[in-house]
């Protein structure tokens, strides 16, 4: 459950999950002590240091024992950085491009040209919203077919001009509405999978939050697939899985365990190549630091992939996905 506290202007000040509350309460006590110390001129450094040490220890105890369902809640945290946040902190000269040249633009997907530490790249990503109006405008990060066709248009442009591609994935899944199906949702996703498999430029996919079903996979056929520490990646949401298997979406916690959707699970299964560590308490606690860590990882992987020829990039990508999974014959 997410708890929201209101600022004096009525706006949302903080949003916290149940298991975060003990740490948040300690941090609030530390801020109160700091404010009292400033006002009174009486030093409270000893008490503050003791509380800070207690908060660090408590945070480590909580976050070292998170269940899969709690990690799912973190991946969906309302304050978690989204694609545009990572682009702002990691890249420069971002120029957003719009439209699929077939139907229209899809605001749930952002795409454009940018520089990563001076290196020209093409970046695409799902974009959720912060407030109610933006969430509706961005369709909660669930792309329509024109969103995936925009992604493909940008990827083909990157291939034409020999620029590496970075995808930032954070979606509950592709939009399942009637209008999306009428405009060819399944075909758009399938075409992206086919075209990405044959791209002649490096492609690095990053699961930054939710990696939901085909809506995520349509941007994730990369030479390298990275996953943030508290992100999730699965063929279906825990709620959807519970509704199908047990006819009860309230069993989402049980479904999350069965799906093995955490970064550690996916690394063990070979579905992702590397886990990107998040700041203490999760990426939502420090957007800038989360982006700085990811930037260093992207730089290293791009430096490695730039030595591959186009043929080698396609072969490596093909072998990577063919080697996934286990097959048992009897």
Q: Going from the N-terminus, what domains does the chain have, and what CATH number goes with each? A: 2-65 (no CATH), 72-322 (3.90.226.10)
- pLDDT at residue 14, rounded to an integer: 58
pLDDT of residue 292 exceeding 80 = yes
User: Percentage of the chain with pLDDT > 70?
Assistant: 95
Q: Are 237 and 172 in contact (CB under 8 A)?
A: yes
Q: Which tokens in the block code for residue 290?
A: 């989360």
pLDDT of residue 6 exceeding 90 = no
Q: Are 167 and 121 in contact (CB under 8 A)?
A: no
What are the CA-CA distances from residue 69 to residues 208, 250, 266 (Å)? 17, 12, 15
- Which position has the token pair 């969103």? 147
- pLDDT at residue 3, rounded to an integer: 53
The bridge status of strand 92-96 relative to strand 109-116 is antiparallel
Average pLDDT over residues 45-53: 79
pTM greater than the 0.85 cutoff: yes
pLDDT in tens, 188-236: 999 999 999 999 999 999 999 999 989 999 999 999 999 999 999 999 9
- The β-bridge partners of 123 are 112, 166
């Amino acid at each position: 459950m997410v708890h929201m506290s209101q600022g004096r202007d009525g706006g949302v000040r903080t949003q916290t999950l149940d298991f975060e509350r003990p740490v948040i309460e300690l941090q609030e006590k530390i801020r109160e002590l700091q404010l009292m110390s400033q006002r009174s001129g009486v030093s409270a450094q000893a008490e503050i240091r003791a509380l800070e040490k207690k908060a660090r220890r408590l945070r480590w105890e909580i976050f070292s024992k998170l269940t899969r369902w709690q990690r799912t809640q973190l991946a969906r945290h309302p304050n978690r950085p989204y694609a545009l946040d990572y682009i702002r902190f990691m890249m420069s000269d971002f120029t957003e491009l719009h439209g699929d040249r077939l139907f229209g633009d899809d605001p749930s997907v952002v795409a454009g040209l940018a520089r990563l530490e001076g290196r020209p790249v093409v970046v695409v990503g799902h974009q959720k919203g912060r407030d109610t109006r933006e969430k509706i405008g961005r369709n909660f990060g669930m792309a329509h077919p024109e969103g995936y066709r925009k992604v493909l248009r940008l990827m083909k442009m990157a291939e034409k001009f020999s620029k590496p591609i970075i995808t930032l994935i954070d979606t509950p899944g592709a939009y399942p509405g009637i209008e999306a199906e009428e405009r060819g949702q399944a075909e758009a996703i399938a075409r992206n999978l086919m075209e990405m498999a044959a791209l002649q430029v490096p492609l690095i996919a990053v699961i930054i939050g939710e990696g939901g079903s085909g809506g995520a996979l349509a941007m994730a056929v990369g030479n390298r697939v990275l996953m943030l520490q508290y992100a999730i990646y699965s063929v279906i949401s825990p709620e959807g899985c519970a509704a199908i298997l047990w006819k009860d979406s309230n069993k989402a916690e049980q479904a999350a365990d069965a799906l093995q959707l955490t970064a550690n699970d996916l690394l063990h299964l070979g579905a992702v190549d590397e886990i990107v560590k998040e700041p203490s308490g999760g990426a939502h606690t420090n957007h800038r630091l989360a982006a700085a860590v990811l930037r260093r990882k992207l730089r290293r992987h791009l430096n490695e992939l730039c030595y591959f020829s186009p043929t080698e990039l396609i072969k490596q990508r093909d072998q990577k996905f063919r080697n996934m999974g286990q097959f048992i014959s009897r």
